[in-house]
Amino acid sequence: MEARATNKFITSSPRKMRLVVDLIRGESVDKALEVLHFNPKHASKSAEKTLRSAVSNLYNKDDNKQHDPSELFVKEAFVNQGPTMKRVQPAPMGRAYRVRKRSNHLTIVVATKDNN
């Protein structure tokens, strides 16, 4: 049994988010939540929120069966690039520099260990 959660339009660059997501891929859910909770990077807050949502989706998906949290693991975790907002910042001598504010889409899939 597996469930997924997607968080779209996160205001962080995909490159920064991938540094955080690489830490939890393949780990158990308990360890992944612990790593994300104590990670000082700003992107870890969004990743922790998405991971908790994926676990909640798994519990809601199958009401008949109770899943033990220690038997869950992060099966997939990936980051895709979202839209880029283009802004202009004043520069010296009448010029204008382009500022690109990047965003990303985060997807986390959680599964039980007996369903490898």
Q: What is the pLDDT of residues 30-76, one digit of tens each?
A: 999 999 999 999 999 999 999 999 999 999 987 777 788 789 999 99
pLDDT tens for residues 78-89? 999 999 999 999
pLDDT for 69 equals: 79
Question: Does the reported pTM lie above 0.95?
Answer: no
Tell which CATH architecture fits domain 2-115: Alpha-Beta Complex (3.90)
Structure tokens at 17: 């988010």
Say yes or no to pLDDT of 116 above 70.
Answer: no
Residues near 104 by beta carbon (within 8 Å), at least 6 away in sequence: 10, 12, 13, 14, 17, 79, 80, 81, 82
CA nearest neighbour of 20 among 85, 104, 83: 104
Q: Which amino acid type is present at position 99?
A: V
Identify any residues that bridge with 106 across adjacent strands, giving them in sequence order: 7, 79
pLDDT at residue number 62: 79
From the list 76, 75, 22, 74, the residue with the least C-alpha distance to 44 is 22
